[in-house]
Amino acid sequence: MPIARREAIKRGFAALSTLALGETILLAPEDANAQIFKPKNRKLYGKRKAERRASGKGRLKNDYSKAVIKKGVCLNCSTVCGIQGYVIDGKLVKVSGNPLDPNNGKSLCAKGQSGPTINDYADRLQFPLKRVGARGEGKWKRISWDEAYTEMATRIRKAIDEGKPEEVAIQIGRSRIAEEMTRFLNAIGSPSLFNHRSLCSSNKRAANYACLGETDWESPDFERSKYILNFGANFYEAHQGAIHAAKRIIKGRFDNGAKLVTFDVRMSNTAGRSDEWIPLNPGSDGAMALAMGNVIMQANLHDAKWLDTWSNVKAEELKTWISRYTLEWAESVTGIAAADIKRIALEFAKAAPRAVAFTNRGSGAHYNGFNNDRAVIMLNAIVGSIGKEGGYCYTTEPTRVPPTVFPQPAPLPPAPKAKSLIENPPEWPLANKWQRMKVGQIVYKYIQEGRGKIQVYISYTVATPLTWPEGRSLVVDVLKDEKLIPFHVCSDVVYSEQAHYADIILPDASYMERWGFDVRNNMELRDYVTLRQPFTPPPGECVSFVDTMIELGKRISPETAKYFQFKDHEEWLKLRSKGLTARVGEDGWGYMVKNGVWQDMSKPKYYELYNWDVEAAQLKDSRVDPATQIIYRKAANGTETKVGLMVDGKARRGFLTPDRKFSIYHEDIEAAGKQVGFKDNGMPEFFPVESFVKMKPNQLHLVTFKWNVHTQGRTASQKYLSEIVHHNPMWINTETAKQYGIKTGDLVELSTFRPYGHDMKNGGDFIGNAVITAYVTEGIHPRVLAVSNSLGNLWHGRAGNANKASQNTPTIGLDQSGLLADQDLDEDIWWDPRNGGTGAGYNVNAILPIQSAPLVGMQGWFDTVCSIRAL
């Protein structure tokens, strides 16, 4: 590049804050790494800090008596804890738990505590950028919001005019604005909202829907339980709802004497704090649960009355069916001694109904995970603990803002008529049956194969090259290809790997700078809604993505504009809060802003929800089917809907399953298997992971996990979290390490292979390899290797990529950029390799294959077969 041209281009993350309208910038790690870097003595850092403090220029203690306290909702993970922010002189200086939140109360984890570092991160995006070089080159020009909106609206309008609205798609990570995005897509007629649920928890969610019919996430009554069986949930660190569960399990154990048994291939923080850690063979959770169920039923410790009343398989039928899952068989499959399986099963049954068996990714993120989780949930039915105090409880539709209380402003756009094979792939018929769980890991493969076309691709808070399987091969290949994705707009808070392959980058407001309703399952077993509100305004020209969609909706056409007849997201939520006024006896919006949370105290807790009376209004114009005892109600148009179940002559609510009973057998699952040629008889049968059956003697299992301070690609830019964990060595068992001559700190070459299974191709083919540091420990199964995810960022600013040299121009102060220069980033990234540090870690997802489980389509994260070689 000619000298004059080179000097006209700014470089480095810090230069983002000084970029003028129309100026260009180059954001590329290669460029940053090429800068001259002179390591400094860490003692000098301490000396300079002391000098700054002495001169009054260093960090000062905050006077919290001057703080303005606002309520909000955390979004550093999917647990969405209620928080309150402390704002002093317009700066967010601290967050803590919202004591009014029924789930977490005053408790807040390290991720939540680090929130303020997002708002004033010196390497944040602050202005819209447009690509001026080749896609992926990292060359950008600052543009105005009007330019960005105009180009986006024009391209979306073109797809609509061509009759192809489905070719406008939004790909999301942790959004918590699903209703808002659905409204926008419905307004333009597109069904193409691509989520990441199949990479997270779709097997678990589908299992709950199949068994219970109305919830995707259970709310066990841990605090009142006497026995807790944990199948692969790491709730002391990274379980969805971690604090919510952990604080109640701690109370249950130490105030109520509950025993905690954890099944996991790795000694997580949860396993290490359990009464017993059982390192079963990977993917054998369902076998363990079925064998335990058999032990309980053969010992006649099951609740026959409950099964005969509320289950769609009678007790004696189930006892006969489950008898095939013997202790001897289970020992051979799980690797756990038959005597231990029997002992734990009997202990669990004797504690019932104050007994809970629950799951998470350890059991569900497998090829057989859907049935694994159904078998575990069935354990609760066998001992009669479903919905009981101290048992396996749940609430109705726990992750949706109730429209009866917070109605959407009219008019509402109709559901799209257009179809998308990418959004609703027929190979996985249960992926979208109960809710839109989809199969996100196949999006790029389908685009590459021409299964669906994309004209406008909008990505929001997602970093698929980092977090998707085969992210830096298949995903990057598709994102770079302008024929496959002609136009890519990325909305994000920082310059991420996703943003690097965009055409336009929109600087998003952080979760502490925007509005939104949010909700999770309430562990107190009541309906509730929280309000996310801005603690401080966003810096520069950052705009909440919802406000971006509102503005686009107004600009695309008069037809779309009629669905966005409100100024912004704040006004939208105000309109929705009018329905709350009568319930709280004061202005509903003011109530939410003041308290940050509303909890419905008008109904009893959701214990035994299935046994609640059917409301009188629902019984009007109803009939009872004499064969099934299902209560049907006829609507004004003549159609009939199921409203309950007659039990002992009384109209009961029942479960929201096809037969209104707890579903052990599910006809829709059997039908789905026939539809795609996968053998499934509708029962929670155990079947082995085919890749494991075909493993060679020199091959091992590779699993991933999350630290309690990181969440996928979201947290690496938060300097204190990356300081705590920035290195992710490969865990290997002590005996296994001896066989390979490996010691802690040694470099190992890790190679991965493509899986086998239903409708999977090229099983056994080599995927990729990585050179990674070993960590030798007894706290892992001998046939398993484990590497944490969330690390290995190439971008995300200096904290995320462990690269001080990516700043080569000074930042501008608060008065110009909205962000402060940061001494930590300037001097103290001590984990930079050129300072002798370990770097930003390894991106293990890059060598993990796409492997979608049958029927539901969840990614089999823990099914990867690998080999290792000491270097």
- Which amino acid type is present at position 857? G
What pLDDT shows up at residue 268? Answer: 96
What pLDDT shows up at residue 241? Answer: 86
What pLDDT shows up at residue 817? Answer: 41
Question: What is the tens place of the pLDDT at every residue in 683-707?
Answer: 999 999 999 999 999 999 999 999 9
Q: Which two tokens stand for residue 760?
A: 């999977």
Using 70 as the pLDDT threshold, list the residues of the chain that sit under it. Answer: 1-8, 14, 29-60, 805-821
Q: Measured on CA atoms in the order 662, 668, 674, 676, is the torsion positive or negative?
A: negative
Nearest Cα to 825, choosing from 16, 109, 28? 16
Nearest Cα to 285, choosing from 205, 341, 219, 356? 341
Cα dihedral 283, 286, 288, 289, rounded to 10, equals: 150
**Any alpha helices (H) in 235-280, and if so which ranges?**
242-256, 269-272
Directed axis angle between helix 327-334 and helix 338-351, to 10°?
Answer: 110
Calpha distance 105→94 (Å, rounded)? 16
For residue 758, give Cα distances in angstroms to 63, 671, 702, 835, 857: 62, 16, 20, 49, 11
Phi, psi of 542 (to 5 degrees): -65, 140
Calpha distance 810→819 (Å, rounded)? 12
- Which amino acid type is present at position 201? S
Question: What is the tens place of the pLDDT at every residue in 304-349?
Answer: 999 999 999 999 999 999 999 999 999 999 999 999 999 999 999 9
What pLDDT shows up at residue 58? Answer: 56
Strands 259-263 and 276-278: parallel
- Whether residue 819 contacts residue 539, with contact meaning beta carbons closer than 8 Å, is answered with yes
Calpha distance 592→583 (Å, rounded)? 12
Place of tokens 């075909």: 694
pTM metric for this prediction: 0.94
3-state secondary structure of 806: helix
- Whether residue 639 contacts residue 655, with contact meaning beta carbons closer than 8 Å, is answered with no
Nearest Cα to 456, choosing from 420, 489, 504, 422? 489
Strands 622-624 and 597-599: unpaired
Strands 730-733 and 766-777: parallel
Eight-class DSSP state of 647: E
